[in-house]
Every structure is written in structure tokens, then in C-alpha cells.
Amino acid sequence: MTRTPVLCILTILFAAALHAEPIRVRQSQGTEHGFLVIRSEGGEVIGHGDLIQTAHGTRVTSDLALHFKDGSLDDETAIYTQNGTFHLISDHHIQKGPFFKTALDMTVEASGQVTIRTADKDGKVQSQTKHVDLPADVCNGMLAPLMVNIPATTPGLKLGFVAPQGDKPRLIKLNITPDSTGKFTDVGMTYNATIFRIHLELGGVVGVVAPIIGKQPGDLYIWVSESPAPQLLRLEGALADGGQVVSVELSGATFNHD
């Protein structure tokens, strides 16, 4: 009996899920404090931030807090392990204030439990918890450590990511590929960087329709220093669906595309 196209597609998707693998640890993460600046697409400083990371054995806690001049906040705390490969334990992401079209309060647990909290017009908080079958390579809250562990020579890879869709979670893919190179200058010294492109693959009917109706999220660009000890330097793109394009970068550095 010949398989229908739908069954073939389901088989392929199931096989892909089985082969999802976390990123191998090449650069162990430790305690650090990074000072960040947020710029508009035109280069205006619109906020500042901190990346505070602590490590205890193979367990790492990372807190990225971005404070905008208009009072908005983007705060994400992720806990993960780095025992041979990176594995997410939990991620809590908050976005609120006028900079964001929609407020976000989402928690992703390694068990697959995803909780999204929303406020109604009266300010009453509603909480919805759903189960999502998470792949081993889910990367919420872990882009910074993962990007410095991806070789610049990689032909590309895909990672799982839980994105909010209203009050429900949606599992999508981040398609990561080397895009170009650039240079950054810090304290008078110029260094090379690899620029990775991250394309959000929505999947399903939504993924087919979104580009047609102009709802496909824009790509993100991540700068990583070319060094035996690589460092994430800069993120370019929108921080939320439908938001304005910004750059979040190390304070004091300047950047130029090759």
C-alpha cells in the first residue's frame, strides 16, 4: 500500500525530532558580567543592559536584563547544565513596557511544562500552562553560550525554540548559518568576527502563510569574535514579534561589516 503524502511528511518530521541533538560543549561557561548598550536601527542609544552569569559545577545561571529609556524591560533568566552538552533546565522571560507591542511572561521547564501569564484589560493576571514535547536541542535563554560553541565553519544547524503565540506556546526552529564577517574595535584594537544569521522557521500552515501575508519574523544576526576564546559581541534584529530592529552590543565596542 502506497503511503499518502501526509503520512510521509509526518514520518519525516518524527525522524527529525528523534535526531535533535544539543550543542556539544567546546567553551565551558563561567562567572561573568557583561555591560551592554541598546541602539536603535539609526544608532541612537535607547537603553543599557547587563548579562550576569554564575556557574556552580556544571550548572549555570544566566540573567540578561535590558532596561530601556522609556521604562520598558526585557529580562530573561535561564538555568542550564554543561556536562558534555548543553541542556536547558528552565527559562523565564519577561517583556513589558511601551517598547513592546505585547507584554510577555513565559516560563519554559525542561519537563515540557510551559506557562504563559497574560493580563486582561482590568490588569488581572491569567496563567495558562501547556505541555510541549521539547527536543533535546531546545535553546530558550541559551543563545549566548550556544553561539560561542558553534564553529564558524559549520554549514548550518537547527535548534528548537519555544515561542509564544497569544496565550499558547508554539515550538519552532531556529535555522542558524554563518552569513558574513565583520570587524569590531575595542580600546583601539581591531579584531575579526563571524556574523551568524538566524532564520525563524515557523513550520506547518503558519510557516507557509506567514511570508505571504507579511507576518514572517525578520532574521537575527549574531556577531561572535574569532578567537580561541570566542565571545558573543552583538545581536541585531527585533527583540519581539513585530518590534523595531535594534542592536544589543558590548559597551565600548564599535562594529563594521567587511
pLDDT digits (tens, 9 = 90+) for 14-30: 333 334 578 999 999 99
Lowest mean pLDDT among 48-57, 83-92, 151-160: 151-160
- Say whether pLDDT at 199 is over 70: yes
Helix (H) / strand (E) containing 17: helix 5-18
- What is the pLDDT of the chain when averaged over all its residues? 86
* Dist. CA 192–CA 185, nearest whole Å: 9
Contact 106, 112 (CB under 8 A): no
pLDDT mean over 90-99: 96
- Residue 126 neighbours by CB distance under 10 Å: 10
Per-residue confidence (pLDDT) for residue 208, from 0 to 100: 35
- Say whether pLDDT at 61 is over 50: yes
59 Cβ contact list (under 8 Å, min separation 6): 79, 80, 81, 89
Say how many domains are in the chain: 1
Distance between alpha carbon 118 and the CA centroid of its chain, in Å?
Answer: 21
Per-residue confidence (pLDDT) for residue 8, from 0 to 100: 37
Tell me phi and psi for residue 206, to 5 degrees: -60, -40
Residue 165: pLDDT band with limits 50, 70, 90: confident
Helix (H) / strand (E) containing 26: none
Count helices and strands (H / E) in the chain. 3, 15
* Dist. CA 222–CA 60, nearest whole Å: 21
Per-residue confidence (pLDDT) for residue 122, from 0 to 100: 65
pLDDT mean over 120-142: 88
Helix (H) / strand (E) containing 134: none
* Domain residue limits at 239: 5-257
